[in-house]
Amino acid sequence: MGNGPASPEAAPWPALEYEEQVWTPSTTWGLRAADAGRLEEPYLAAVPPLIADAVPHPSAEAMESARRAEAELSRFDAELGDRIGAFAPILLRSEAASSSQIENLTASARAILNAELGVTGKRNALEIVANTRAMQAAIRLAESISAETILEMHAVLMAESTAHRPGQWRNEPVWTGTRSDSPVGAEYVAPRHGRVPELVDDVVSFLRAEAVPPLVAVAVSHAQFETIHPFSDGNGRTGRALAQAVLRHRGVTRNIAVPVSAGLLANVEGYHQALTEYRCGNVSPIVEAFAAASLRAIGNARQLVQQVQSIRDSWPQRLKVRRSSNAWRLLDVIVRRPVLTAAVAAEELGVQTPNIYPALRALGEAGILRKKDEYRSGPFWRSDEVLHAVDAFAERAGRRSA
């Protein structure tokens, strides 16, 4: 066992060590043992340190950034006030979509909302909907974070994937690099699968250390989780869902999922470099990355909230029906769910489906909703204004900014 590459900056945090493993290509199936042995190649797999009792000491600048970001996250969470019900779903979807985009999974707001309603034509949109559900599970399970709740998040995320053991730790090597058929020469090889359960229990114990400031705990636990890479797929999305759970668990946020992944998306290269630095024993870059991402995300999310609120405020001037009409009651529903079917709209208001059509027609005549027949799914009603605002959020998130 030996040390990996040294970080250029010394830091009081244990760096990875490495252990030699042997890779046998799957193409050796059917060969004689002697022939197969000649194809075996050694490689180095990471041995992450146990961190349950370790205390990270980021630089003074990183600590100050983390404190400021914590305060701003809490302030934004609180300032939505009685608008939480309207905007929490939009922000949650935005976080899930941004986290998925880091993994190169992109889809329009319309495609994502169509997928929520059962349209199955766009694979990326379906995966983003699954990520939204994983985020919801993370927040629901935030009160008691454990290895079991992490497995549940992953099970929700990967429910439709039979190839990647949903809700189970991996039983094979995983790595990052240019080759998909071998870990030999990979940029990073995660620890052998037998180490995963102990390492996950250890990072969960670290999260319970109240002495570590909340955003530092979020950043360090996320970096450790990504270093462990406990699943054969879905590690990044599960890890960022876990980060939302930790923010809620530590009381930084209480009502919403601030789309921090949208902030990370603005500098994915820097995010990945910070993970590399963490593995070399330097915690400051990942703390700074999460702090900067939080502040970027808050600015972007505030703009989204303001745009959607302005759209919502304009609707009463356009809607010319009696006050008893269900159309008025649907306005707040449209903010939360800017794509609707008649059945969903009726369920939201607790009325029979036939009774919702006059309201939908009135909203269409007012230009608030637009009707579109979706293939094999019947008519959908959508607010193009809200969808455009959500897509604009995603476009801003993908733009590198100072």
Question: What would the pLDDT profile of 51-101 be if each residue is shown by its tens digit?
Answer: 999 999 999 999 999 999 999 999 999 999 889 989 999 999 999 999 999
6 pLDDT above the threshold of 90: no
Q: Are residues 63 and 204 in the same domain?
A: yes
Long-range residue pairs from 122-128, CB within 8 A, at least 24 positions apart, any chain: 124/100, 126/160, 127/100, 128/96, 128/97, 128/100
Give me the CATH number covering residue 130.
1.10.3290.10
Domain of residue 28, residue span = 2-44
Nearest to 13 by CA among 281, 277, 394: 281
Number of domains in the chain: 3
2 pLDDT above the threshold of 80: no
Q: What is the DSSP letter of 211?
A: T
Q: Are residues 55 and 38 in the same domain?
A: no
pLDDT value for 11: 47
- C-alpha to C-alpha distances, 358 to 61, 332, 368, 386, nearest whole angstrom: 58, 17, 14, 22
pLDDT value for 375: 63
Lowest-confidence pick of 1-10, 155-164, 226-235, 294-303:
1-10
pLDDT value for 399: 55
Q: Which residues contact 301 (CB under 8 A, 6 or more apart)?
A: 76, 91, 94, 258, 259, 262, 393
In the chain, the amino acid numbered 358 is P
Residue 310 lies in a domain: no
Which sign does the torsion angle of CA 302, 308, 312, 314 carry?
Answer: positive
Which sign does the torsion angle of CA 71, 131, 346, 325 carry?
Answer: positive
- What percentage of the chain has pLDDT greater than the value 70? 92
267 pLDDT above the threshold of 80: yes
Q: Are residues 162 and 270 in the same domain?
A: yes
Share in percent of the chain as helix, strand, coil (round to 5): 60, 10, 35
> Using an 8 Å Cβ cutoff, are 301 and 94 in contact?
yes
Instruction: Give, in degrees to the nearest 5, the angle at Cα 109 between 105 and 115.
Output: 75
How many whole angstroms separate alpha carbon 83 and alpha carbon 109?
A: 21
How many whole angstroms separate alpha carbon 164 and alpha carbon 158?
A: 7
pTM: 0.90
pLDDT value for 160: 86
Q: How confident is the model at residue 38 (pLDDT cuts 50, 70, 90)?
A: low
Residue 35 lies in a domain: yes
Question: What would the pLDDT profile of 186-213 be if each residue is shown by its tens digit?
Answer: 999 999 999 999 999 999 999 988 899 9
Nearest to 394 by CA among 112, 127, 87, 134: 112
Give me the CATH number covering residue 372.
1.10.10.10
The average pLDDT across 311-336 equals: 96
Q: Are residues 384 and 297 in the same domain?
A: no
Q: Are residues 88 and 205 in the same domain?
A: yes
Question: What would the pLDDT profile of 214-252 be if each residue is shown by its tens digit?
Answer: 999 999 999 999 999 999 999 999 999 999 999 999 999
Greater pLDDT, 222 or 164: 222
Residue 363 lies in a domain: yes
Q: Are residues 218 and 105 in the same domain?
A: yes
Element (H, E) at 280: none
Q: Can you read off the two tokens belonging to residue 111?
A: 């495609």
Q: Are residues 124 and 242 in the same domain?
A: yes
Q: Are residues 154 and 212 in the same domain?
A: yes
Residue 364 lies in a domain: yes
Residue 311 lies in a domain: no
The average pLDDT across 306-315 equals: 97
Q: Which residues contact 117 (CB under 8 A, 6 or more apart)?
A: 339, 340, 341, 344, 377, 380
Nearest to 207 by CA among 267, 149, 281: 149
Residue 314 lies in a domain: no
Token look-up 């929490």 returns 88
pLDDT value for 25: 81
Greater pLDDT, 322 or 81: 322
Q: Are residues 229 and 328 in the same domain?
A: no
The average pLDDT across 382-397 equals: 96
Strands 378-382 and 370-374: antiparallel
Nearest to 215 by CA among 93, 64, 9, 79: 64
Q: Are residues 213 and 267 in the same domain?
A: yes
How many whole angstroms separate alpha carbon 94 and alpha carbon 132?
A: 9
282 pLDDT above the threshold of 80: yes
How many whole angstroms separate alpha carbon 349 and alpha carbon 179?
A: 52
Residue 396 lies in a domain: no
Q: Are residues 30 and 111 in the same domain?
A: no
Q: How confident is the model at residue 103 (pLDDT cuts 50, 70, 90)?
A: very high
Q: Are residues 365 and 230 in the same domain?
A: no
Mean pLDDT for all residues in the chain: 91
How many whole angstroms separate alpha carbon 265 and alpha carbon 396?
A: 10
- What percentage of the chain has pLDDT greater than the value 90? 82
Question: What would the pLDDT profile of 331-355 be if each residue is shown by its tens digit?
Answer: 999 999 999 999 999 999 999 999 9
Give the other-Cβ count within 10 Å of 268's Cβ: 15
DSSP alpha helix (H) spans, 229-283: 235-249, 260-265, 268-279
Q: Which residues contact 222 (CB under 8 A, 6 or more apart)?
A: 239, 240, 242, 243, 286, 290
279, 303, 327 - which closes a domain = 303
Residue 29 lies in a domain: yes
- Overall residue count recorded for the chain in this entry: 402
